[in-house]
Amino acid sequence: MGARKRIKANQIKEENKSKAFASLRNVPTSPRKMRLVTDMVRGMEVNRALDVLRFSPKEASNRVEKLLLSAIANWQAKNEGQRIEESALYVKEISVDSARILKRLRPAPQGRAHRIKKRSNHVTILLGSKTAETDSTKE
């Protein structure tokens, strides 16, 4: 690794230490189905997003709910002494990226076979605090 890459990598690591995020990798659900769930909670306040995910009938909502709880725990570890209600915590960014695709064969008539793609995805949640952002804009 060259010097510029190492410096940039260390800079990115330092920036990530101040952010509260969580990521879920290789989820065996298609990215399209997962995006339907993540689009519901993007930009929502954290407690409201948890309620929406808890009562959603989609299977992917269980995984996103668990990931959101993990992101909240990460935020609490970085901001000890602060309460979620007072900081107005919300889902700042949530992204779904495509992961590996497992290629399988399904038997078809007359000795043929059809290829099936079993898709999976990566989900990343970044939390933000509305009170911290308003404090930084006042300065």
Domain of 26, CATH number, reads 3.90.470.10
Q: What is the pLDDT of residue 17?
A: 83
Domains in the chain: how many in total? Answer: 1
Is residue 43 assigned to a domain?
yes
pLDDT digits (tens, 9 = 90+) for 36-86: 999 999 999 999 999 999 999 999 999 999 999 999 999 998 888 788 888
- Rounded Cα–Cα distance for residues 116 and 107 (Å): 10
Q: Are 118 and 104 in contact (CB under 8 A)?
A: yes
pTM to 2 decimal places: 0.85
Is residue 101 assigned to a domain?
yes
Is residue 79 assigned to a domain?
yes
- Rounded Cα–Cα distance for residues 42 and 63 (Å): 15
